[in-house]
Each structure stands twice: as C-alpha cells, then as structure tokens.
Homo-oligomer: A and B are copies of this chain.
Amino acid sequence: MNGAQALIRTLVGAGVDVCFANPGTSEMQFVAALDTVPSMRAILALFEGVATGAADGYARVAGRPAATLLHLGPGLGNGLANLHNARRAHSPVVNLVGDHATYHKKYDAPLESDIEAVAASLGWVRRSDSPAEVGADAARTVAAAQEPPGGVATLILPADVAWGDGGRAASPVPARVPRQVPETAVKSVAAILRTGEPTALLIGGAACQERGLRAVNRIATATGLKPFMETFPARIQRGAGLPAVERLAYHAEHVAYQLEGTTHVIVAGTKPPVSFFAYPGRASDLVPAGAQVHILAELGGDVVAALESLADEVAPGTLPVLQQARRSPLPRGPLTPRNWVEVIGALLPDGAIVSDESVTSGLLLPAATAGAPRHDVLPLTGGAIGQGLPVAVGAAVAAPDRPVIALQADGSAIYTISALWTMARENLDVTTILLNNRSYAILRTELQRVGAGRSGPKADELLDLSRPDLDFTKIAEGMGVPATRARTAEELAGQFSRAVAEPGPHLIEVILE
C-alpha cells in the first residue's frame, strides 16, 4: 500500500468519504489511488474556491467533514477565501494540500512557496513526512477538524509521501465532544433572568438549529428575554413549526436599535456582538453602553445542552411558540428587491436548503420566508464573497434528496462561477436564483457609510457591473446548466416552480429594477 492509499483508507475509516478536488501533478498519486478505495467519492471542481466552499457546505449539512484536494501553495491560495468562511462557520474541513516531494523542496522549483505559513492562518496544520505516518497524520487531521466547535485542519501531502510504499491505514482518533457547560454558569444566568431586568440573549452555532431554538423560545416566553441569533450563523433551521428567532442585524445602528435598553447581554455559542466593519465615529463593540455581558456557553461548549438546562430552570412548564405556516401571496409585475423574495416565500419547497449569498438584494428575505415550510439557511459566514454557489454544491452532495436553492448576488457569483459546472457534472438538484442588479450594490451604501461623501465618476465606475452587463444565462449555459431569465414576478414564479420540479441544476437570472 502506498501513502496515498493509506491516506484515503484512513479518511474513509474516519467517516470522510467525499473529496472535493482540483488536483495537479503533485496530487496525481492521490488521484490514482482513488480507484483502489471504492467508498471515497471524488468530485472535480474547476477552481479551488469551489472545492473549499463545497467542503464547507457539505460539513454544515452533513455535520461531518469532507476533504478537499488542492495543488500546492497557489491552489491553497485560490481556496483560501472559502476556507476563511469555513473557519468562521466552524465547519470541520479536512484540507489536503499536495506539495513537492520532500527532497525536491530545497531546489525552490517554480511552484515552491510557503504552504505552512498560509495554512497556519486558518488553524491546525500538519505536514506528513513518510508513507508509514501519513495514515496516522490523516486520522489526527480528521480529529483536529472536528475539535469543537469545528474548523479547518490542513494536511500537507508531499508527492513522495503519496507515492512511497509502506503506507499504513490508521484507525480513527476519537473526536472530542463539545465541552459541558458548568451548572454554575446556567444558575448564574438564571439568576439574572429572575431579576426581570431587560436582557438579550445572543445565540450562535448549533443553537440556531431546532433543539436550541426550542429551548431559547421557552426561555424567552417564560422570562421576557429578547433572543437573537448571531448575524451570520453557519446553519439556521426555520420556517413553519419551528420557533422563530430574529437575527442580529448587519449594520451597527440597527443592532443598537435591537439591543436598545438592554442591561444584560447573555452570549451562548458565539462571541459578544461587534460591528462587521469599522466606520468613522461609530463604535466597534456593539454591546450597549452600561450593559453587562455574561457568557453562558463559550465557542466549543455544548450550547444546546446549556440552553436546555436553562430552559428547564427558568421555564419548566413552558412550551415553545412555533411559527405558523403562512405563505406570501404571489406578487405581480416587474421584479424588484422587494418582491422577488415574496415569490420565494410563496413557492419555497418543503425541506429546502437555502444557500444565501443574496447580499443587499435579500434584505427582506427572512420576513418573506418566515412562514414557509421548514427549511435550512446557510448564510455567508466570513464575509468573503463567492461562497454561495460552492456551498450549494456541498449541501446538495450532503443531502441529495433535498432541494437546494442558491440565492446569489451577481457580483459575488463571479468569484466562483464554475461551481455551476460541478453542479452540472454531478447533476446536483440546485436551483440558482441569480440576482442581477448590475452593481456592487452593497458598496454604494458602504461608500457613504465610511464618510467618503459624494462619489465621483471613477469611484462610481468601480461599483458598477454594467458596461458590459453580465449575461448569466449565457454563462450558465456555457457551463452546462440550463438557464432562463425572469423580469416579472410571474415569470420568476413559473420558472422557479419548473426548476424545482425538475431534477438537476437550473439557473434563473432575475433582472432587478
């Protein structure tokens, strides 16, 4: 058995049986070894950012890591933005980066670069030194990725470690479970709630799924506490039959409004609220002045169990209030940022997974889909745009029986547009709603917010995506995905219904007025 075979067998043994790959020469032995381990599925991406974003999306839905396969330092570079998002999502990702043979590195061949330095910016890194060790290294990498709350763990695989003989598959290293939250922390928060003082609860991570939401809603119902989700959780469960919890807003002034009058901020499974960006004259720390912060559960702690304990403590007999089923009525006429979301709200299929990178076009989405059938939302976590389509790929691989809906802004779509090709190759059931407003709309707002005043023609040019207009139907068809264009709500409704009903990928370009 060579090193590559030992590596792949170890991964499969540890439950990692999907690999999103964009290989090169130094990874050819890994590629060849795939045919010797039938249960490893390899999926080709045409750009590394698609592979890394797909691994993130897969982890968010499957709850366990996929592997990537990247080609040396430049491949890692191309994958870095979506690995950053995965890091912020606390998604477990086994990030495999091929490298030159061990003895070749000293020659500083053209593709040589400092892979460790770049990978270390993401978290845990190991370089495998020999075929005999690569199995054990892989088992440690899988465990590192799953170390609560989850993260990116990189294994650097030199070519000769892959092709050398003497490989040994290793048994899985048991992954640690989330740390139990001490009963004292629960009691202490319960005492605060019993004072009746105005209190907000900010939840994140696993708390944004059903069990956590039910506990939070019981607590809020019984005590009057105001619950919020962190602005960008990795995965939100919502819709009819689940308790609805508002997300903290993106802009600092809206957060100030949400938290106004609060004297206690309880934080569970996330960090205290901070502004996404700094703006002149505005605070970065969004905890209201004078309010006290209390940590119920740190990142990596068992936030769901802590919330359930708290609910049993302060709301023993209380049942959660569940969102009623309620569909938006279908709107009519030309599509705008206000009405396209209502089409989605009216027609979202049951059990959908929504990869949401709709950015400014999606501001009204949460309201429009609140009463839709139960669904999962996978938001942009780290602010590195170009996440939406790759995450949709990974989600569809993880949940082949569920419809995946990618809500995708135009500007950010381009970074990883070849995700469409992978959707076509794998016949993934992804419906992409491409929101074309022909601009970096968010930056028009941000230009004002940083105090830059009125923009001149050169600044305007850098925020404008027309001249020429991007034609996403042609781009999608060029990548093998059937595409249509909608300019009215009626057109979008018809096209969306058909796309969802038909297996395989579709793209609908929504031209926003």
Contacts and interface: CB of A to CB of B under 8 A. Distances in A.
A120 to B, nearest CB: 7
Contact of A31 (B46, B85, B462, B467): B462
A271 B108 CA distance: 10
A274 B32 contact: no
B450 A28 contact: yes
Given A468-B479, A478-B473, A23 B284 contact: no
Contacts of A100: 277-278
Pick from A72, A118, A462 the residue with the most CB of B within 10 Å. A462
Instruction: Please state the number of chain copies in the assembly.
Output: 2
A154 to B, nearest CB: 13
Given A447-B28, A452-B31, A425 B468 contact: yes
Interface stretch (A73-81, A176-184, A237-245, A363-371): A73-81
A122 to B, nearest CB: 8
A289 interface: no
A150 interface: no
A418 B470 CA distance: 10
A506 to B, nearest CB: 14
Contacts of A452: 28-29, 31-32, 163
| A: interface residue count bin | 35 or more
B77 A110 contact: no
A324 interface: no
A480 B443 CA distance: 23
Contacts of A384: 74, 77, 111
A21 interface: yes
Contacts of A475: 474-475, 478-479
Interface string A63-102: 0000000001111011111011100100000000000110
Interface stretch (A190-198, A313-321, A453-461, A486-494): A453-461
Contacts of A121: 73, 113-114, 117-118
A269 to B, nearest CB: 16
Task: Please name the 8 residue pairs, one residue from A and one from B, whose CB atoms are nearest each other, closest first.
Answer: A35-B456, A468-B480, A77-B80, A32-B452, A74-B384, A474-B478, A475-B478, A101-B278
Interface of A: 21, 23-26, 28-29, 31-32, 34-36, 42, 44, 46-47, 49, 72-75, 77-81, 83-85, 88, 100-101, 103-104, 107-111, 113-114, 117-118, 120-121, 159-160, 163, 232, 271, 274-278, 280, 284-285, 381-384, 386, 411, 414-415, 417-418, 421, 424-425, 442-443, 446-447, 449-453, 455-459, 461-465, 467-480
